[in-house]
A and B are shown apart, each in its own frame.
Chain A
Amino acid sequence: MAILSKEEAQAILKKVLSYSKADACEISLSGSDGGNIRYARNAVSTAGQISTMDLAVSSTFGKKTGTATINEFDDASLQKVVKRSEELAMLAPENPEYMPPLEPQTYQESKTYNEKTAAITPDTRAEMVAKSLSVSKSASLEAAGFLENSTRFRSIMNSKGLFAYNKGTNVSFSVTVRNQQGTGSGYIEQDFNDLDKMDTLALSKIAASKANGSAGAKAIEPGKYTVILEPLAASDMLGNMFRGFDARSADEGRSFMSKKGGGTRLGEQLFSENVNIYSDPTNADVPSATWSGDGIPVKRTQWVEKGVIKNLSYSRYWASQKGVQPLPFNSSIVLEGGNQSLEDLIKSTEKGILVTRFWYIRFVDPQTLLLTGLTRDGTFYIENGEIKFPVKNFRFNESPVIMLNNVEALGKPVRTGSGMIPPMKIRDFTFTSLSDAV
């Protein structure tokens, strides 16, 4: 029941709309069906299967909007939720930023759904975890991990006749493998829409090899180092930066994208020339829905070209204030790189640090986007093109904006979270102290 087809979703949305007496009505219907399994100390600890479906109705009279949600779908409940949203709208103050519903739009075909992933059962999950546990147990290591899959649909309709539907699947896996002495730790995480791409055995072997390889880490002085960031580490830093591509906060003067004296840094060379970033919801490696939450078509967008800021995202309201087209941000980010592998980047490094993962990253200064956090689960010293020995974890204080100005080389992008991120070689990365954590 939780995953409705396009036609089934459309039928419910039409019925809900037929009950509306408001000036404008916007409805969203979404559902999710999935499960998870968690393990620690080489044994399964918890497992669950969850199915949900929810409906949200926003009714507007003039500029007064009320929203109500419900998770029951009989006719009486559907009538009740519409009526309640209308009652709330009457009580609400006027919203000067209210935007009327969007006209019908056309969307590109979405690539987010995979039949095999949708068919995952609790047994599939148990088998995938058993493979991971076989790696840790046979190597006398200890694993803790989490596997989760879901199929989701989301559909929207409004009183202007707009309708959009998307169905997608996702499977995500992460595992931490530690040695029994607690002196070494390795980690891997991976997301895919397509189950066939997920190999928990191979991934667990990588985590196990990092657990063994990181044991007995030496302390070296914190300071500025050339770093090679594995895609996961690079992605942790960049994810915090993408939130800043919002035109409104830039225009308001409270973002790193704000220009001194007013306006935004659109068109400015903010990063090194080898930095090119775009998003494309139809990219087969990192697909996402081809429409945004409020129904705007999402298309390939170049955000950074040769280090120059080419686009910022505009909400419908802010776009109307600035006389531009609305432009939603999109999670299918691709940071273009070259063909070099991680190993190639290491080989070309005279002296540096390999960072496999960062942890507990927090903003220190939103103005410069300075972030602090620590390395975790395998940090290594590189000399003359080779990994020489594991090093103790560092705390860093660094801005991804500064980082993208210090790019020495970019490798081949791989799927990391919902984006394609390359391994990166960055000079002058700032480590400020050491941590004893393993």
Chain B
Amino acid sequence: MRRRDFLYLSGVGLGVSVAQSIPLVGKAISIEESLRPVEVQLKKKMADVALNAARSKGASYADVRIGRYLNQVIATREHQVQNIANTESYGLGIRVIANGSWGFAATNHLDNDSIAKAAEMAVAIARGNSRLLTEPVQLAPQKGFGEVSWKTPIEINAFEVPVKEKIDLLLDVNQQALKGGAKFVNSNLFMVNEQKYFASTEGSYIDQDIHRIWPTFTVTKIEAGKFETRNALSAPMGMGFEYLQPKETEKIKGGPVTLYKKRYDMLEDVKEATMHVTEKLKAKPVEPGKYDLVLDPSHLFLTIHESVGHPTELDRVLGYEANFAGTSFLTLDKWQSGKFNFGSKKVNILADKTQQDSLGAVGYDDEGVKCGQWNLIKDGILVNYQTIRDQAHILGLKASQGCCYADSWDSIPFQRMPNVSLAPGEVPLSAAEMVKNVEKGIYMFGRNSYSIDQQRYNFQFSAQLAYEIKEGKIVGLLKDAAYQSNTQEFWNSCVQLCDQKDYRLGGTFSDGKGQPSQASAVSHGCPTSRFNGVNVINTGRKI
């Protein structure tokens, strides 16, 4: 789902009328309708019409994606529901190679004639583009899988849960915050179901049913002309409604904040958040300088996303994103040397499209490649990138790594980030034990402000909560703390990692890339990690 759709749906921009807040990219449908998937055999028939038409017009390769994108959003503030929306977007996109060049066309008219015409248009565009070609497209080999399917292993389909139950949960969350003295509270629940069918001239017919969920809130308090907020420490997940069913065994307690693994207790988190906001209003300003940072996964996931996920995207390295997202400091010569010291020896970073409950988990990518796992950084050394079929040969790979994705049936698929995660430490270590050894540090939770340059060297991040650590003890909340560093320097300052028991997923629904911009959802797993001697600035100002 595109980011802008969620922004419309959630009614961001106060006072927006309902008519304006519904996206114009899909039709609203009833819940009953959304639960009836399109017949697989009908999709196969439509796909064959497209593939045959493309071949008959001279395409040397074609693939087709028939996508049905269902979204449900519930947005509330204080005692009221601002918006409930069910939307559907359904159509077919066809991509071809003709005369060595790519062509793409899409239609939401799914009769045979319209599908064939779209295929014909894709071939015509490919032929047109081939005049400006510098080198023909080279596709890494990929066998056809025949008729296969994959489904996110959810326990409860969030679309089947009655709307009332979801509204009641969000209004209870709001009530909890208001009871704790919050002046304002917004809570939202986003649910996504991508029903995606892929077929190619190589003999794959892949039917996938992908689910994602994201509950979130913001609590605001105002005191003496100052306001503070605390956002939810939930993560968007590749799960069903079971994510919202709390489980004690999925909680980490004992630190300053209750943390959640694969089950989220929204009511408990909002209660803590409301207390945190009061503490934030009284927090002492940070003294700028060097600190040892202890970063919780609810915060560190975004630093991984920006400083490791993006620079290892091969299309950025090659210059295809130069006009928008930028290029990358991880140039091919650094990879070729086999010695580029990205981080300390503790740093092992994996790309993974199979990790259960993650946002990026699918059986096959959007060009029919079976998904897997590989190392990007091994013992601190850059060893690989993220590729799709027309890039694999550049790295001397015999197969794509399965990183192709399009955010809608009418979007052109291109290279997108898989889940990129920091492996936990092998020595047993809890976050509480890690904190005990820090003399002068800051312990950070939750994402806040984030910014990084176009080649991914210099970044600045801040957190929802920043606790001062003095001589192994947490002494209180700090305000206006942000850290600035350089990617290579930062990852080389990584000195300690907690173990598997502390490992959690964070993620985003709205990683943006491409022109026109497309959004993709991606997770990043990591344990609580320690980085020594990082530069912290004070961002407080007066206006």
Binding site for B on A (CB under 8 A): 26-28, 30, 36, 38, 40-48, 50, 52, 54, 56, 58, 65, 67-72, 81, 84-85, 87-88, 91-93, 95-97, 99, 122, 126, 142, 144-146, 148, 156, 174-176, 178, 182, 187, 246, 248-249, 252-254, 256, 258-261, 270, 293-294, 314-318, 359-370, 372-374, 376, 393, 395, 397, 399, 401-402, 432-438
Contacts and interface: CB of A to CB of B under 8 A. Distances in A.
A72 B27 CA distance: 9
Nearest to A254: B227
Contacts of B80: 93, 95-97
Interface of B: 14-20, 22-30, 80-82, 84-85, 87, 102, 104-105, 108, 125, 128-129, 132-134, 163, 167, 183-184, 220, 222, 224-227, 229, 318-324, 326-327, 329, 331, 410, 412, 449-458, 460, 462, 480, 482, 484, 486, 515-516, 535, 537, 539-543
19 contacts: A36-B516, A40-B320, A46-B104, A46-B412, A52-B24, A69-B24, A95-B82, A99-B17, A182-B331, A249-B14, A254-B220, A258-B225, A258-B227, A260-B224, A366-B227, A368-B540, A402-B541, A433-B484, A437-B458
A68 B229 CA distance: 33
A436 B331 CA distance: 14
A437 B455 contact: yes
A397 B14 contact: no
Contact of A362 (B133, B449, B535, B540): B449
Contacts of B15: 97, 246, 248, 314-318
B81 A92 contact: yes
Contacts of A294: 17, 19-20
Contacts of A435: 453, 457-458
Contacts of B30: 84, 87
B18 A48 contact: no
Contact of A144 (B19, B132, B320, B541): B320
A40 B513 CA distance: 14
Sorted from nearest, which 5 A-B pairs have the closest CB atoms?
A315-B15, A260-B225, A435-B458, A54-B24, A437-B453
Contact of A256 (B84, B184, B222, B543): B543
Contact of A293 (B20, B125, B482): B20
B514 to A, nearest CB: 8
A72 B321 CA distance: 36
Contacts, number: 236
A47 B318 CA distance: 19
B412 A67 contact: no
B452 A360 contact: yes
Nearest to B516: A36
B328 to A, nearest CB: 10
Contact of B319 (A36, A142, A253): A142
Contacts of A246: 14-15
B18 A65 contact: yes
Given A48-B412, A432-B537, A67 B453 contact: no
A144 B458 contact: no
B22 A41 contact: no
Given A92-B84, A368-B541, A68 B516 contact: no
A297 to B, nearest CB: 16
B539 A44 contact: no
Contacts of A30: 24
B87 A144 contact: no
B19 A364 contact: no
Contacts of B412: 46, 48
Given A71-B108, A182-B327, A26 B19 contact: yes
Contacts of A45: 320
Contact of B451 (A122, A315, A372): A372
A178 B87 CA distance: 42
A42 B134 contact: yes
A402 B132 CA distance: 48
Given A69-B27, A253-B225, A359-B454, 7 more contacts: A69-B26, A254-B184, A293-B17, A364-B482, A367-B227, A370-B541, A437-B458
Contacts of A91: 163
Nearest to A32: B24
A211 B222 CA distance: 48
A43 B101 CA distance: 11
